[in-house]
Structure 1
Amino acid sequence: MLKNLDPLLNADVLHALRAMGHGDEVVICDANFPADSVARATVLGKLLRFDGADAARAVRAVLSVLPLDTFVEHPAQRMEVVGEPNTIPAVQREAQAEVNAAEGRDLPFASIERFAFYERAKKAYCVIATGERRGYGCFVFTKGVLLAPDAPSAGEQQK
């Protein structure tokens, strides 16, 4: 156990999230998503797991350490319901609440059509499968940056 770290974040997930760079994407998906086959095509090349966790819980854990990108229009995206792109199922409303809490503001999900979502996921840095049994518990998050406070330059340090 580590202090101040969500216990859902296992060593493999922490390693992947830390290794990601600005603009890299992480997919959090439900138990119905073809996670293993999609994950093989990602940068990491293997599936990460949060077995037993629902989608909202997984989103909370990941966003407790992952900054979202402020340089893109939609750093948080969701899979559209087939044939009903404007429908927001409960699983997505719950995840939206976690995104808003992590960001301290409303940051609405953008939507991605189902098959476009699959293709997007293959280009992600990694995929994290959850135990979420409800459909459409699938999300893409774009990693942002954490900037250090202004530090003195090398010349200023020598004075």
Structure 2
Amino acid sequence: MLRGISPLIPPDLLHVLAQMGHGDEIVFSDALFPAHSIGQRVIRLDGVEIPRLLDAVLPLFPIDTYVEDSIVMVAAPQDDVEDRDLESKYRSVIDKYDSGLPKTTFLEDRHDFYARARQAFCVVVTGSVVKYGNLLLKKGVY
């Protein structure tokens, strides 16, 4: 155990966060995401919800402020929204650690998100089970 590092961050995730460079992307996925068929590097955090994980990771992880698409989600179809406040739940945690970040980019097609996730440095599978709960973040600099 390290001081100042949340116990929610296992050693392999801490290693990935340290390896990532400016512009690298990480996906925090819901439990339904096809991570193992999409991501080359997958870490499982079953039982941890994305907002709690964000609260653990963001003190260590700067989000890119130089591009408009550093925070990405999938736009849920109007008739298939499970949690209309999901983005605001994520943003309340994100905005607590970084000010002046761009708005969340919503991709209209989940397959566009999958294509972006294939290029991500890592996919972290969480225990979140809400539909359209996936979140992609681009690493910035201090």
TM-score (ref. length: structure 2) = 0.89
C-alpha offsets along residues 98-155 of structure 1, whole Å, 9 cap, x if unaligned?
A: 1111114565311113110010000111100000011111011000112xxxxxxxxx
Gaps of 5+ in 2: none
Alpha-carbon distance between aligned partners in 2 of 1:108 and 1:120, rounded to the nearest angstrom: 18
The equivalent residue for 2:133 is 137
Residue correspondences, number: 141
C-alpha offsets along residues 9-48 of structure 1, whole Å, 9 cap, x if unaligned?
A: 1111011111111100000010111111111xxxxx2311
The equivalent residue for 2:19 is 19
Alpha-carbon distance between aligned partners in 2 of 1:82 and 1:36, rounded to the nearest angstrom: 25
Contact 2:31–2:46 under 8 Å retained in 1: no
User: How has the CA–CA distance of structure 1 residues 28 and 13 changed in structure 2, closer, same or farther, with 3 Å as cutoff?
Assistant: same
The equivalent residue for 2:49 is 54
C-alpha offsets along residues 54-106 of structure 1, whole Å, 9 cap, x if unaligned?
A: 1211222221211111211231111110357xx97233221111111111456
Contact 2:68–2:103 under 8 Å retained in 1: no
Q: Which has the higher contact order (CA 8 A, sep 6+)?
A: 2
Alpha-carbon distance between aligned partners in 2 of 1:107 and 1:63, rounded to the nearest angstrom: 16
% identical equivalent positions:
35
1:60 aligns to what SS in structure 2? helix
Please tell me whether Structure 1 or Structure 2 has the larger radius of gyration of its CA atoms: 1
Q: What is the RMSD computed on CA atoms of the aligned residues?
A: 2.2
1:48 aligns to what SS in structure 2? strand
Contact 1:100–1:107 under 8 Å retained in 2: no
Q: Which aligned runs of 4 or more in structure 1 are off by greater than 3 angstroms?
A: 104-107
